[in-house]
Structures are given as structure tokens and as C-alpha cells.
A and B are shown apart, each in its own frame.
Chain A
Amino acid sequence: MIKQSLWPRLRKRFILHLDPVLLAALGLLILTGLVVLYSATDGNWSRVLAQVVNILVAFACLWLVANIPLHYLMRTALPMYVFGMLLLIGVALFGEVSHGARRWLNLGVATIQPSELMKIAVPLMMAWYFEKHEATLTLKNYFVAALLLLLPVALIARQPDLGTAVLISASGFYVLFLAGLSWRVMGVLLAAALGSAPVLWSMLHDYQRHRIMMLLDPTQDALGKGYHTIQGMIAVGSGGVLGKGYLSGTQTHLDFLPERTTDFIFAVYSEEFGLLGNLILLGMYLFIIGRGFIITANASTYFTRLMAGSITLTFFTYAFVNMGMVSGILPVVGVPLPLVSYGGTSMVTLLLGFGMLMSIHTHKKLVQT
């Protein structure tokens, strides 16, 4: 009797709220990441092990969030957003400068980067806001939601942290789009943006224009950021169809590739596994995104639909921006390759998002049956 009831109880306690399909796909991608990391660190086990610890922590977060019922999750939206905004204002006023940017807040016990929190808090807040006004949506509501997005983005862009600002803008835009922002408004906004670009350009200082040009033409800054792009493109291009083989990338192992464990890890992968490897990697991302879409399509409430859609599309944006900048079609902004790059913070943020997806998926089932 007791033996029999043990399994269902364990199941209920630990894995009921996990989505096995998504979990398997995430696991496979993360494992690939570890394999590439081993090569990128020249076989440094301690770095790989540190990343394993990051992953375990992140999975613990995923499990925790997946087990939180959605109405609890919704309740955290407002306090989390307000808290995040306060921290961002704190950063702007008292933040610590590092790498020429003011992103960190020293709380005495630990230094934190509030913009990371906002990656979750902004779409959550916007989805919550739309859910609250679901019955009576007017253009005004979209305007307010856009304001909820633009305030933190402006603060983060000022730090400056372009990568995070882009990602949060994207995640917020996805919420607006999925919430049904009318095509006409989007058309007007797009036209306004395109129309004002030449005016803005003429208003910029020479040095600011120079900076933008540098983003567009990396060879102008061969020792700085441009060096990254040039070496990244050489690594990708020289990988060819089949790649140079695991642990045999010359760009990687002759020290030509900078930041090869973090933002440029895709170059390492691409050099060693070639076009074929890239196809497989794109396939893995597409599979995870597809699973996210299925969960989104089946989500039961307005809030969960918006949230799931935004999480999925933001994940895609992460991957696209990173691979785009390494292969030289996008300017270099500091965005890691999701679930592959070394680093604990982005791993935790991403898996938190996937934890929410799983919660959205599994708690709905419970309601239905």
C-alpha cells in the first residue's frame, strides 16, 4: 500500500509540473553548451564545473517556478515591477561603475544587476496589466502598457546596457503585439520611426555618428569591438560545411577569438562543427521555440497566453541577436547565446522563464481535469 502510493506521491510532488518534452530539449541544448565550453576554455574543467553549478541552481529555480500556481505568479507582477524600478532608479543614482557603465547596485551583502530582474518583471507586469483590463481594452491601455515598457528600457539604455535594453524592448513589444495592438498603430509607429531617422541623424554629434558607423563597419576599430566581429566571422567562415572537428578550431585554440566562453561561444561551436552543426543548433532552438508556441496556443487565460508568447519569442530574440552579431549581420551588443554561453545570471533568468512556461502548461491541465 505504502509502496504503491509512493510513486504517485513522488510524481505529484516533484515532476507533475515539469514538461518532459521541453525539459529534454533544454537538457540537450545545455549539454551541447557544456561540450562547447570545454573546448572554449581549452579543457579547463574547473570552468566547466562552475557552469554545471550554475545550471543546477538554474534548474532548481525552474522547478520552483514551475510549481507555483499561476494566480500566485500573477500576484508577484506588480510588486516585482515596482521593486525592479526602484532598484533601477537606485542604480542610476548610486550605482557602481564598471566597464564604463553604471549597471550594478551594491547592497552591502551582494552586488546585483537589477536589469536582469526586469527581463522577467517587465513582460509579467504588462501581461498582468492587460489581463486586468481585458474586458475593456482601448488604445489608452496600450499606451499605458507601452509606458510600462519604455520607463525601464530608458533607464537601462542610459546605463548604458544596449543588449539588455534591446531584449527587454523586444519582450515588451511581443506582449503588445500579442495583446492585439492594431496594425494601423504599428504601421504609424514604424512610419514615424523611419521618417524621424534622418532628422535624428542630423541632430547627433559627430562623435555619436562615428560610434554608430563603427557599429556598422567593424574594421574601423580593429583592436576593440571590431576585432571581435572580424575574428568571429573568420571562425565561422573557416569552419566550412563539416567544421574543423571538436577541440581543433584554430581560431579558438590559437587565442584569436575573444570572449570565446561568453558572447562569442557560437563562433567556437561554428568553427568546430561547421554548417552541419549550425543546422543542428538552429534545429534545437527551433524545437524549443516550437514547443513554446504550442504551450502558448493552448494557454487558458489572457495573461498566460501573453506571458508564454513573450517568453518564447524573447528566447528566440536572444538566440537570433547573438548568432547574428557573431556572424556579422548585427552590431555587437552584449547578448549571450541562450543556454550555451558561460554565466550564471542569464542561465537563471532563462530557466526561470521556462519554469513559467511549464507552470502555464501544467497548471492549466489540472484546472481542466
Chain B
Amino acid sequence: MKNPKKTVMVVEDDRDISEVLKILLEENNFKVETVFDGHDVEKISVSKKPDLILLDLWMQGMNGIEIAARLRKNSKTEKIPIVLVSASSDVQKKATEAGVNDFLAKPFEIEELLEKVNKYILKKA
């Protein structure tokens, strides 16, 4: 019997990175929801109930840390694991305080990405 596919929500406003993340995750049997605007993350998280959110730090309108803090305040999204994807390494403290579970530095190795995604999804399953 096959498990239903797990959903990873990719929050990234750069279309190219979003596209390549989608390809990578789909090739590894995940269902992917892409979100391009920080303001939509909370709403879509509530409706699509992703198993994990890959969250870009540098989002237009609202940055990743603000988004994470919001998700943690909403009872419907507070438990969704969040991996912050970021080009700068200096935000870890702030991000952890905002409720981010883990970090992935840009640029990343595919193995690293899959390892982090699997870690939180398997933990949940």
C-alpha cells in the first residue's frame, strides 16, 4: 500500500528558485504548493495544510521571520515545521526566536535539502 504524497509548501518569490525547488521535490515524490507572496502564506497554509514549509527569508512585502512568527501565532498553523531558506547566515537567532525549526543556506546541495525535508516530515509521520 502506498502512502499519500506529503505536501511541501515552497514560499519563494524568485520564480527560478521556486521552479527548481518544485522540480526537485516532485522528483522525490512530494506534492508541492508554491506561494510567491508573503501575505498569502497564512491563508494557504490553513487551507492546504502542508506537512512542511520551505520559507525564503527575503520575501517581498513580508520577510520570512515575520511570516514564521505569524504562523506560530495561528493555532491552525502553529505546528507546521518551517525550514528557513536564506542567503545570509546571521539571522539564525532571530529566526529561532520566531519559531523556525531549521535552516538551509543558499546555495544548497540537493542532499542537504532532502535531508532537512525528510527529517521533519518523517518525524511527523
A and B: interacting chains? no
Which A residues lie at the B interface, using CB under 8 A? Answer: none
